[in-house]
Structure 1
Amino acid sequence: MLKIIDKYILKRYLATFSVMLLMFIPIGIVIDVSEKVNKMIEKKVPLSDIMVYYIDFTIYFANLLFPIFLFLSVIWFTSKLANNTEIIAILSSGVSFQRFLKPYFIGAAIVSIFALLMGFYLVPSASKGFNDFRYTNLKGNSQTRETTDIFRQINANEVIYVSNFNPVSKTGFNFVQETFKDNILKERVTASRIKYNEETKDYTLYNYKKRSIGAKNDELEAEDKKNNKYNFEPDDLTPVIYVAETMTIGELRSFIAKEEKKGNANVNTYLVVLYKKFSLPVSAFILTIIAVAVSSMKRRGGMGVNLAIGIVIAFTFIFFDKVFGTMAEKSSISPIFAVWFPNIVFGILAFYLLRNAKR
């Protein structure tokens, strides 16, 4: 059974976190609107689509930034408890520091479970709506640059390329397919545009050209428009993070297994997205411990000092998370190690700070 003090701290924990989200999400929306309003007006985007987009925007970024919001909110209300000497009163009554942490762990567990379920099922749908809106209505905006220069090796002998791809209309531009045998180019297909047909499960190529390379002479074929079946899916042309972010946990696992069999060079990027679904909620516990350890001591300078320390730690955590995530995607470093390394480092820091806080 929770005691009165547990309920008091837990209520402050959840309430401050909720208020922090409600304060910062509208700020994010205002900034996003200011950046995109001209493009929305130019494209004459319906108000209903804009409203749905910002619902997806809220879910997407709340999930992405919730550990930092949680961290700062814990520092905020724990510093207030310390400045009001409430923590001293609690510990002086015979409550151990470990026992004092109980409501914090309960709060972190509630937030983490909610974030885990959101990451598995709700966030993928929000991510799809968020990205679809950008690709449909904001084309030409800097946010769409990740669609350019997409290379994929679809099997041991074939590679494909598009200069850019729209996942919503399933249309790519400046398509190239090259077929090799014993590392020698045997066939090259080009098209100014390629579009996937949902009903027939094939592709329409515009300004189609095919060169079959022979020992002495090449064979050339050209048509204004040609339908072909290929052994790759539109997802193979979709930006790698975008397609992974839009899948539920079951879909993502199946997708990764399929791509591993095909030898897709981007598997590490998909694995980073998968592992982050599990590591992000764990970081809530680690950052909660650090926040309590940093802010439970009454300091000269008050809450401002604790918040300054907290912001430095928060940005350091983000730096580690981004750097090692990128390293896993672009190098041979293990994705699971890269994703969990920030939690390991900050877990050690949490243990050290907690031990000193007890003293």
Structure 2
Amino acid sequence: MKIIDWYILKRYLATFFVMLLLFIPIGIVIDVSEKINKILAKKVPFLQVMEYYGDFTIYFANLLFPIFLFLSVIWFTSKLANNTEIIAILSSGISFTRFLRPYIMGATFISLLALVMGFFFVPKASKGFNDFRYTYLKSNPEIRQNQDVYKQISDDEYIYVSSFNHVQKRGYNFNLEKFKGNQLVYKINAGSITWNEADSTYTLAGYTKRTVGKMGDVLESAPEKKFKFNFVPDDLTPVIYIAETMTLGELNKFIDKERARGSGNINTYLVVKYKKYSIPVSAFILTIIAVAVSSMKRRGGMGVNLAMGISLAFVYIFFDKVFGTMAEKSSINPLIAVWLPNIVFGILAIFLLRNAKR
């Protein structure tokens, strides 16, 4: 690797991490100013507050990773252009493609870092971040619940709860139906169902069971009864929340299980899975666009490049959010929806790169 490669690569990585160190504290200060009253009112332990802002840092950095990368590349490349360093590099006989090599190396490093973070660290941070918000910061914890949850828990068993609260691990108006072929074998009803973490059982309050018989139905009832079912509270939590808190291996197993159950929320889980791969790839696309936009010395200086960069970055995020939501709520293939922004901006990157070479 030549000196010029090290020079650009160090500037690439240093500017990116400095950008993170500058904006993350700003995000934390804004978040503290908004939530300090609720934190003090509910007397949240200091250690939990510190853990929350540790998770917030990872969550916030992952959420705005494309913008940070894009702006950092535009910033230091515009400085190179304004100092006529790029002109000197290209005048020495180095081609524009060769000039891009340290940028691609930097994008590879950032991409691998984002991949590892998305697979293993971001899910844990997302869980801690959301748990804290819904436990201490939401004025009504009942907000965090699923409404009208239907699930097939085995080949012949189906459950229903009218609502399920993840914080309290409690559901209401619980029904379980057991079939043999097309015939109902028995049906269990309960006013509420509560998860017991100590022994992995459920407590059914207002329990009744109707067993269908040839000569007549058999009724059984009790004020309260414990059961061990083959489903866990995570099966009843909000779909986006649970998907974001799983590592890649856990998410793959969860998707296979939900597909076998015939879940109607598979697209939502697949969007989260595919984004784990698409976001790191965007590092290469955004890097090429940023270099192509900012490598020319402009009359307006660095401000023009930054304005163009911010506009393109927000358009990219807009496309990403819109197509992700469409995949979750419609019949659009999740793989196509998640990768379409990268495809569109990849074509844009090729066009801008060719124009920059000329």
Fold conserved between structures, TM > 0.5: yes
- Aligned partner of 2:10 in structure 1 is 11
Shift, 1:229, TM fit = 3.0
Report the equivalent of 1:154.
152
Match of 1:151, as an amino acid? Answer: V
1:277 corresponds in structure 2 to 276
1:301 correspondence with 2:295: no
Given that 2:146 and 2:237 are in contact with CA atoms closer than 8 Å, whether structure 1 keeps it comes out as: no
Report whether the alignment pairs 1:205 with 2:197. no
Q: Which runs of 5+ in 1 are unaligned?
A: none
Report Cα offsets for 1:198-241 as digits up to 9, x if no partner.
233221123446678999x9987664432233332211111112
Task: Please list, as runs of the form range in 1=range in 2, the aligned pairs for 1:52-67 lying within 5 A after superposition.
Answer: 52-67=51-66
Q: What aligned pairs does 1:1-359 form with structure 2 within 5 A after superposition?
A: 1=1, 3-140=2-139, 145=143, 147-149=145-147, 151-155=149-153, 158-167=158-167, 169=168, 171-177=169-175, 179=177, 187=187, 189-192=189-192, 194-208=193-207, 223-359=222-358
Counterpart contact for 2:144–2:165, Cα < 8 Å: no
**1:287-321 per-position Cα deviation (integer Å, ceiling 9, x unaligned):** 00001111111112111111111111111111111
Contact kept? 2:69, 2:283, Cα under 8 Å? yes
CA shift digits 1:268-297 (9 cap, x unpaired): 111111111111100000000001111111
Extract unaligned runs of 5+ from structure 2. none
Task: Report sequence identity in percent.
Answer: 66
Give deviations 1:123-154, integer Å, cap 9, x for gaps: 22212222222232234369x84534252322
Provide Cα deviations, 1:172-210, integer angstroms capped at 9, x if missing partner. Answer: 2424326487699x8472424x22122332211234466
Amino acid at match of 1:318: I
Measured after TM superposition, the shift of residue 242 of structure 1 is 1.7
The answer on whether the counterparts of 2:144 and 2:166 sit within 8 Å (CA) in structure 1 is: no
State the alpha-carbon separation in 1 of the partners of residues 243 and 292 from structure 2.
36
Q: Structure 1 pair 140/208, CA: closer, same or farther in 2 (3 Å)?
A: farther
Look up the SS of the partner of 2:64 in the other structure: helix
- Specify the SS of the correspondent of 1:149: strand
Q: 1:290 to 1:141 in 2, by over 3 A?
A: farther
- Using the alignment, how far apart are the partners of 1:354 and 1:86 within structure 2? 19
- Code of the residue aligned with 1:165 in structure 2: it is N
Separation in 1 of the partners of 2:183 and 2:64?
Answer: 46
Alpha-carbon spacing, 1:133–1:150, altered in 2? closer, same or farther (3 Å): farther
Aligned-partner residue type, residue 166 of structure 1:
H
- One-letter code aligned to 2:147: D
Query: Quick check: 218-227 or 236-245, which moved more?
Result: 218-227
Secondary structure in structure 2 of the residue aligned to 1:348: helix
- Rounded Cα–Cα distance in structure 1 between residues aligned with 2:144 and 2:327: 18
Which residue identity is paired with 1:334?
N
Q: The residue matched to 1:297 in structure 2 has which SS?
A: coil
Provide the secondary structure at the position in 2 that maps to 1:163. strand
* Compared CA separation, residues 219 and 24, structure 1 to 2 (3 A): farther
Distance in 2 (CA, whole Å) between partners of 1:272 and 1:208 is: 38
Letter in structure 2 aligned against 1:297? M
Contact 2:285 2:345 in 1 (8 A): yes
Partner Cα separation in structure 2 for residue 308 and residue 141 of structure 1: 40
Deviation digits for residues 234-262 of structure 1 (CA, Å, limit 9, x no counterpart): 11111112222222211211121111111
Counterpart-to-counterpart distance in 2, 1:163 and 1:104: 50
**Separation (CA, whole Å) in 2 of partners of 1:300 and 1:277:** 39
CA distance in 1 between counterparts of 2:56 and 2:303 reads: 31
Q: Which moved more, 1:172-181 or 1:78-87?
A: 172-181
